[in-house]
Amino acid sequence: MTSAAGASTTAASRAIDAETLASIQDVAPILPAGLPMGLRNYWYPVLQSEELAAGKAHSFTVLGEELVAWRGRDGSPQVLHDRCPHRSINLSVGRIFDGELQCILHGMRFNGEGQCVMVPWEENDEPKAHWPTVNAYPARELGGYIWTYLGDTEKFPPPPLEQEVPEELTKPDEFIWFRLPTEVWNCNWLLAIDGSDAFHTMWLTDFPMFEYDLAAGKWVPAHHPFTAPIEADMKNLETDPASVRANCYDLALNGLELGSGSIRIHRKDVQQAIFRALGISEEEARARFGFFLDALEYGTPPHGGIALGLDRIVMLLAGAGNLREVIAFPKTAKAIDLMAEAPTPVSEQQLKELHIRVALKS
């Protein structure tokens, strides 16, 4: 972020007003404290490309800070703090002149780096050290969006944008990307911008493959014995099982797990190595999993998956506080289905057919 020289232009985030906070809590009541305004030092999609027309400045608010965007001389997006440091007027009400943003009040011009490049009342238009500057943020255009890195670029240099966005945005020839116009959706659904859509997702990876069972005195699977280990950790299976990571993953939204999954073992030699690490002898493995080991000899393809809890996703999107509020026929805490009036008494004949005997405690 470019800092002002000799002028106080640091953009302090505005305190979120009570009405906005109440609306956020109504939509997302379980949002962790401190997140309604989002997080700094991240790339954010702030505008759709078609919203940023050439020759026109566009004002908007992100993370409580008023910003202005326009297209430079080469058409690339530029983003500054929307306040002229000389007379504290919004730069967004000015005009674009030769790819630079000109303040409407006194005619000072600023480039995309926040540097003042012209002061009308100076003797010439050469930049001088005492001329004011405005906080500037890196901006890129990708996937039909204008992205801005909101943070301190000196302490936290922005990572390449292509590494931070969904793969679909970087390969338009392989994916079809559907987007709703901003005027229809009325908020940016990719990331939390100013509290209007505060959803934060996270992938959790690098889970341990094993955990030590003190009672049994041996290593046991942390997930299950058919989860594939990380290939680079295979060399540590016998010498350091605690360092072996599993190729499994969880997806969380606002701190709640949405689903989990893993890549499964598809090679017989890897499966046998996992059994050995768990202390399962070859004879025991053959007796318990012989059919499975035989199947792996026939060229099982790499496979895996993930199981998502759709009801939990709906609960978060609806801002509900309990899963039962979004399930058509929810059960009570005692597992009673009030709609179906289940469970119901079972007849002696049904128990007999299933070879079940009920033994009452004395």
Mean pLDDT, the chain cut into blocks of 10 residues (362 residues total)? 30 50 57 53 85 90 87 94 86 91 87 85 59 90 88 87 77 60 41 46 89 91 94 92 94 84 95 94 94 91 92 83 83 84 89 89 76
Tell me which H or E stretch contains 277: helix 268-277
| Three-class secondary structure of residue 294 per DSSP | helix
pLDDT of 13: 36
pLDDT at 45: 84
Structure confidence at residue 12 (pLDDT): 34
Homologous superfamily of 18-185: Rieske [2Fe-2S] iron-sulphur domain (2.102.10.10)
pLDDT at 37: 52
Query: What single-letter amino acid sits at 351?
Result: L
The helix-helix angle for 268-277 and 282-295 (nearest 10°) equals 150
Q: Is the pTM of this model over 0.85?
A: no
pLDDT value, residue 75? 93
Give the domain ranges of the chain: 18-185, 203-308
Q: What per-residue confidence (pLDDT) applies to 166?
A: 72
Peptide bond into 343 cis (omega under 30): yes
Quickly count: other Cβ atoms within 10 Å of residue 100's Cβ.
Answer: 20
